[in-house]
Amino acid sequence: MAGVDKNNYKLLQKNKKAFFNYEIVESLECGMSLVGTEVKSIREGRFSFTDSYVVIEKGNLVLLQFTIQPYKQGSIFNHDPNRKRVLLAHKQEIKRFDRKINEKGLTLVPIRVYLKGNLVKMEIGLARGKALHDKKDAIKERDLSRDAKREVKNLNY
């Protein structure tokens, strides 16, 4: 997240499952093409990364399986929760990511959603799937660090 002003940045949600299932090779900040009720729902934190991914269709980044719950006060003008959403990025960046996906068998996954000023932004990552033993090692490391923190906490009391 280089170049993000911490005063103007508010993290809404992080895709923890993406970091567990994938090794993130490279990331890119994108804007999101949304309708009004989607923006209001996202600001309330009513969205889900479950099984979401990004594909490149006709030179555009398209976000699939990203669920944004309908806005409570949104009457008949509410949005479809699972519609395709276009992510906004420069053409050269899209072409570069497309080449890497086709050459190396990588995939694009959403990493985090945040507010930058009053704009909704998404960080997507070029990801390589982790093997099962890598996931087990990550779980083991997390448990060991949790135990170590617990011991230190108990020593301080």
Q: State the pLDDT at residue 3.
A: 52
Domains and CATH numbers, the chain: 7-130 (2.40.280.10)
Q: Please spell the DSSP secondary structure of the chain, one letter per residue.
A: -TT--GGGEEEEEE-HHHHHHEEEEEEEEEEE---HHHHHHHHTT-EE-TT-EEEEETTEEEEES-EEPPPTT--TTPPPTT--EEEE--HHHHHHHHHHHHHH--EEEEEEEEEETTEEEEEEEEEEEPPHHHHHHHHHHHHHHHHHHHHHHHHH-
pLDDT per residue, tens digit, the chain (157 aa), is 555 556 678 888 898 888 888 888 888 899 988 877 888 888 888 888 888 888 998 889 998 888 888 877 767 667 667 788 899 999 999 999 888 888 887 889 999 989 888 888 999 999 888 777 777 888 888 888 898 888 888 887 6
Q: State the pLDDT at residue 51.
A: 85
